[in-house]
Chains A and B, each alone.
Chain A
Amino acid sequence: MSALEKVFYSPVGQGVAKKAGLSEPPTLRRGRTWPQGAIVLAPLEGATLGKLTLKALGRAFEAPVVDTDTDQAPGYGSRIGALMVDATALTTLGQLEQVRAVLRPAMKGLERSGRIVILAAAPAGGWEQRALARALDGIDRTVGKELRGGATTNLVYVEPGVRPGDLASTLEFLLQGRSAFVDGQTWTVSASGTKATVSDKPLAGKTAVVTGAARGIGAAIARTLARDGAHLIVVDIPPAGEALAAVANEVGGTALHLDITAADAGHTLAAHIAERGHELYAVVHNAGITRDKMLANTDAARWASVLDVNLQAQMRINDVLLNPKTKGGLAKGGRLVGIASTSGLAGNKGQTNYAASKAGVAGLVQAMAPDLADRGITVNAVAPGFIETDMTARIPFVQREIFRRTNSLSQGGSPVDVAETIGYLLDPASAGVTGQVIRVCGQNLVGA
Chain B
Amino acid sequence: MSPEAVIVGGNRIPFTKAGGRYAQASNHDMLTAALDGLVARYGLAGERVGEVAGGAVLKHSRDFNLTREAVLSSALSPLTPACDVQQACGTSLETTVYIANKIRLGQIPSGIASGVDSASDAPIAVSEPLRRILLKANAAKTVQQRIAAFSKIRPQHLAPAAPSVKEPRTGLSMGQHQARTTESWGITREAQDELAATSHANLAAAWDGGFFDDLVTPYLGVTKDTILRPDTSVEKLGALKPAFGGPEGTMTAGNSTALSDGAAAVLLASREWAEEHHLPMLAKVVDAEVAAVDHPSGADLLLAPVAATGRILERNGLTVGDFDLVEIHEAFASTVLATLAAWESEEYCTGLGLSGAIGTLDRSKLNVNGSSLAVGHPFAATGARIVASLAKMLHQRGPGSRGLISVCAAGGLGVVAILEAV
A: residues with CB less than 8 A from B are: 238-242, 244-246, 248-255, 257-258, 275-278
* CB of A44, distance to nearest CB on chain B (Å): 51
Interface residues on B, range: 20 to 34
CA distance A245 to B37 in the complex (A): 6
> Is B139 engaged at the interface, CB distance under 8 Å to the other chain?
no
24 CB contacts below 8 A, A to B, read: A239-B223, A241-B216, A241-B223, A242-B33, A242-B217, A242-B218, A242-B219, A245-B39, A245-B40, A245-B41, A245-B217, A246-B40, A249-B36, A249-B39, A250-B45, A252-B43, A252-B45, A252-B46, A254-B42, A255-B37, A257-B214, A275-B278, A275-B280, A276-B278
A residues near B223, Cβ cutoff 8 Å: 238-239, 241
Interface string of B12-53 (1 = CB under 8 A from A): 000000000000000000000100110111110110000000
Q: Are A248 and B43 within 8 A (Cβ)?
A: yes
Extra contacts, 14 of them, besides A245-B40, A278-B278 (Cβ < 8 A), are A238-B216, A239-B223, A241-B218, A242-B218, A242-B220, A245-B41, A248-B39, A249-B45, A252-B43, A253-B43, A257-B217, A275-B278, A276-B278, A277-B278
Do A254 and B36 contact each other (CB < 8 Å), given the known contacts A241-B217, A275-B280? no
A residues near B221, Cβ cutoff 8 Å: 242
B residues near A254, Cβ cutoff 8 Å: 40-43
B residues near A277, Cβ cutoff 8 Å: 278
Q: Report the 8 A-B pairs with minimum CB-CB distance, sorted nearest first.
A: A277-B278, A249-B75, A245-B40, A254-B43, A248-B40, A255-B40, A239-B223, A241-B217
CA distance A183 to B210 in the complex (A): 44
CA distance A255 to B40 in the complex (A): 5
Interface string of B227-247 (1 = CB under 8 A from A): 000000000000000000000
> Is B322 engaged at the interface, CB distance under 8 Å to the other chain?
no
- Chain A contact residues: helix, strand, loop or mixed: helix
* CB of A226, distance to nearest CB on chain B (Å): 11
* CB of A268, distance to nearest CB on chain B (Å): 9
Do A241 and B37 contact each other (CB < 8 Å), given the known contacts A249-B75, A257-B213? yes
A residues near B299, Cβ cutoff 8 Å: none
> Is B279 engaged at the interface, CB distance under 8 Å to the other chain?
yes
B residues near A239, Cβ cutoff 8 Å: 218, 223
* CB of A212, distance to nearest CB on chain B (Å): 16
B residues near A245, Cβ cutoff 8 Å: 36-37, 39-41, 217
CA distance A251 to B39 in the complex (A): 12
CA distance A254 to B8 in the complex (A): 14
Q: Are A238 and B40 within 8 A (Cβ)?
A: no
CA distance A258 to B280 in the complex (A): 17
Q: Which residue of B lies closest to A253 (CB)?
A: B43
* CB of B272, distance to nearest CB on chain A (Å): 14
Q: Are B218 and A238 within 8 A (Cβ)?
A: yes
* CB of B80, distance to nearest CB on chain A (Å): 14
Q: Which residue of B lies closest to A258 (CB)?
A: B213
CA distance A239 to B75 in the complex (A): 21
